[in-house]
């Protein structure tokens, strides 16, 4: 899969909220105006983010999407599973803004209810990737030597399997039974993407740890007899937070796209799970006659991904003083 780490330098719509007269936040310069009371990097980043319209807009979109996933009933009074075959493939109207799908279900209701599966897959996959990759990268970077070589080779092995290709092989090999519950299907997709997708994060984590390992304060902590766990928790982790958060936010969107692609192929999430990928899968057959069935779930999917990518961009701009 795309190594989103490269986005690091790539995507940077300059946040208009930033002014030349604001000095870089990290280091002593960040303390200007209120002398003697230096702000922490996270404080400074937060102040920066609040003034960035891209962050505000994408955070609001994500907030609405999360509400949609948690309480779909707030957004639509219709049931996504109430379908009338008479209305099959009906176009958008005042009755149903997004029209009806092939089963005669309301596309708007199904799109709203579909948010949950996509967001769940995105969030949980990202969490598992952060856990696996973070752990592997931290151990490899911190202990070095043969531990590092072994773990790095394992990372390379998994890096050699393209994410989408591997996902297709795994998910086709372990098909869901007809009686699999919604959570089982979602769990399977999360597990697959998590096991295959952690390599980039492990690399980010490893390089951060190696960078920090030789810093004076880590040497000092060691000299004072600090245990490995303590050094990792107190010194290494705080340094790794920024790159990991940035990567995680952007890759969350990427995972949602991959989930949709797998569902579109008919092997990711499967009906009766309601998801945008499933909706698009069912719509493609009639894409030429009734494009609205494809268009609306597609738009929601794209807006979600866009929101996460822009959020990641904004957070990176705020957290990385070097880019200023």
Partner 1 sequence: MGRYVVRRLLQMVPVVIGTTFVIFAMVWALPGDPFAGKCGDRPCPAPYIAVMTDKFNLDEPIFVQYALYMGNLLQGDFGETFGGVQVMDELQLRYPATLKLALVAIATEILIGITAGILAGLRRGGFADALVLVSTLLVISIPVFVIGYLLQLLLGVKLELFPVTVSAGAPLNELVLPALVLASTSLAYVARLMRANLAENLHADFVRTATAKGLSRGRVVGVHTVRNSLIPVVTFIGADFGALLGGAIVIEGIFNINGVGGLIYGSIRTREGAMVTGAVTVLVIVFLLVNLLVDLLYAVLDPRIRYD
Residues binding partner 1 (CB under 8 A): 1-3, 6-7, 9-13, 153-154, 156-158, 160-170, 172-174, 253, 257, 260-261, 264-265, 280, 284, 287-288, 291, 294, 298, 301-303, 305-306, 309-310
Give the closest residue to 173 by CA, choosing from 196, 200, 202, 201. Answer: 196
Beta bridge partners, 106, equal 100
* Beta carbons of 276 and 261 less than 8 angstroms apart: no
Closer residue to partner 1 (CB): 293 or 318: 293
Q: Considering the complex, what minimum distance in angstroms separates the CB of residue 26 from partner 1?
A: 19
User: CA-based angle 137:215:243, to the nearest 5?
Assistant: 40
Q: Considering the complex, what minimum distance in angstroms separates the CB of residue 48 from partner 1?
A: 19
Q: Considering the complex, what minimum distance in angstroms separates the CB of residue 323 from partner 1?
A: 9
* Beta carbons of 319 and 45 less than 8 angstroms apart: yes
Closer residue to partner 1 (CB): 67 or 287: 287
- Helix (H/G/I), strand (E/B), else coil: 180: coil
Q: Considering the complex, what minimum distance in angstroms separates the CB of residue 45 from partner 1?
A: 20
Q: Considering the complex, what minimum distance in angstroms separates the CB of residue 222 from partner 1?
A: 32
Q: Considering the complex, what minimum distance in angstroms separates the CB of residue 163 from partner 1?
A: 7
Distance CA 99, CA 68 (A): 19
Which whole-number Å values give the CA distances from 157 to 54, 150, 153, 160, 248, in the listed order?
37, 11, 6, 5, 22
100: phi then psi, degrees, rounded to nearest 5 = -120, 150
- Give buried/exposed letters for 125-152 (b at 16+ CB in 10 A, else e): bbebbbebbbebbbbbbbeeeeebeebb
Closer residue to partner 1 (CB): 68 or 170: 170
Q: Considering the complex, what minimum distance in angstroms separates the CB of residue 135 from partner 1?
A: 19
Can you give 240-277 as a three-state secondary structure string? HHHHHHHHHHHHHHHHHHHHHHHHHCCCCCCCCCCCHH
Q: Considering the complex, what minimum distance in angstroms separates the CB of residue 151 from partner 1?
A: 12
Beta bridge partners, 100, equal 106
Closer residue to partner 1 (CB): 163 or 189: 163
Q: Considering the complex, what minimum distance in angstroms separates the CB of residue 170 from partner 1?
A: 6
Which whole-number Å values give the CA distances from 76 to 36, 68, 71, 109, 287, in the listed order?
53, 10, 10, 6, 25
Closer residue to partner 1 (CB): 83 or 152: 152
Give the closest residue to 192 by CA, choosing from 176, 216, 168. Answer: 168
Which whole-number Å values give the CA distances from 290 to 89, 92, 283, in the listed order?
7, 10, 8
């Amino acid at each position: 899969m795309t190594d989103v780490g490269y986005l690091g330098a790539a995507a940077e719509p300059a946040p208009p909220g930033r002014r030349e007269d604001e000095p870089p936040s990290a280091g002593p310069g960040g303390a200007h105006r209120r002398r003697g009371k230096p702000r922490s990097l996270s404080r400074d980043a937060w102040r920066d983010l609040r003034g960035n319209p891209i962050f505000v807009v994408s955070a609001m979109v994500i907030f609405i999407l999360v509400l949609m996933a948690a309480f779909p009933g707030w957004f639509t009074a219709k049931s996504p599973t109430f379908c009338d075959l008479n209305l099959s493939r009906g176009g958008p109207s005042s009755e149903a803004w997004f029209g009806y799908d092939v089963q005669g279900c309301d596309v708007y209701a199904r799109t709203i209810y579909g948010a949950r599966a996509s967001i769940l897959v995105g969030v949980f996959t990202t969490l598992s990737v952060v856990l696996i990759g973070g752990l592997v990268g931290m151990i490899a970077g911190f202990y070095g030597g043969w531990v590092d070589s072994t773990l790095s080779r394992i990372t390379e092995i998994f890096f050699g399997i393209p994410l989408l290709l591997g996902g297709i092989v795994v998910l086709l090999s372990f098909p869901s039974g007809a009686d699999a519950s919604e959570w089982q299907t979602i769990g399977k997709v999360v597990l697959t993407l998590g096991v295959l997708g952690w390599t980039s994060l492990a690399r980010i984590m490893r390089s951060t740890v190696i960078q920090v390992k030789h810093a004076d304060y880590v040497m000092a902590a060691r000299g004072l007899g600090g245990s490995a766990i303590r050094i990792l928790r107190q010194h290494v982790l705080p340094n790794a937070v920024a790159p990991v958060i940035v990567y995680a936010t952007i890759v969350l969107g990427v995972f949602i796209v991959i989930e949709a692609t797998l569902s579109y192929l008919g092997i990711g999430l499967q009906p009766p799970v309601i998801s945008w990928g499933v909706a698009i899968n069912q719509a493609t057959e009639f894409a030429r006659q009734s494009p609205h069935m494809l268009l609306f779930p597609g738009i929601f999917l794209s807006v979600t991904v866009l929101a996460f990518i822009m959020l990641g961009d904004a957070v990176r701009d705020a957290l990385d003083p070097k880019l200023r």
